[in-house]
Amino acid sequence: MAKNEPAITVKKNMDNPEPVEIIAKSIMDLSDGFAKIQAGKLNRRALLLLLKDATGLPMSDIGKVLDAIPKLKELYLKK
């Protein structure tokens, strides 16, 4: 982590925790939904440009996120 980057914190609601099944389904939905986006008419550059315009983030950072989304199921879910 670079010196100027803020630390990432996660706030937990211990009164209403998210069940593991909901989190797992969300990961599956995200991966499957992104697969549909990739199969659509927009190419990768168009996705990068749209997200860069919306967020102001560098295209290299956005590219890393786009590369990671399809891998979420294999990284965080059991078969």
Three-class secondary structure assignment of the chain: CCCCCCCCCCCCCCCCCCCHHHHHHHHHHHHHHHHHHHHCCCCHHHHHHHHHHHHCCCHHHHHHHHHHHHHHHHHHCCC
pLDDT at 67: 94
0.75 surpassed by pTM: no
In a domain, 12, yes or no: no
Residue 11 domain flag: no
The reply to whether 53 falls in a domain is yes
Cα angle 17, 13, 33; round to 5: 60
Q: Give the whole-angstrom CA distance, residue 52 versus residue 60.
A: 10
Q: Across the chain, what does the average pLDDT equal?
A: 85
Q: Count structural domains, the chain.
A: 1
List the domain range (segments joined by +) for residue 50: 20-74
The per-residue pLDDT for range 16-38, each reduced to its tens digit, is 767 888 888 899 999 999 999 99
Residue 2 covered by a domain: no
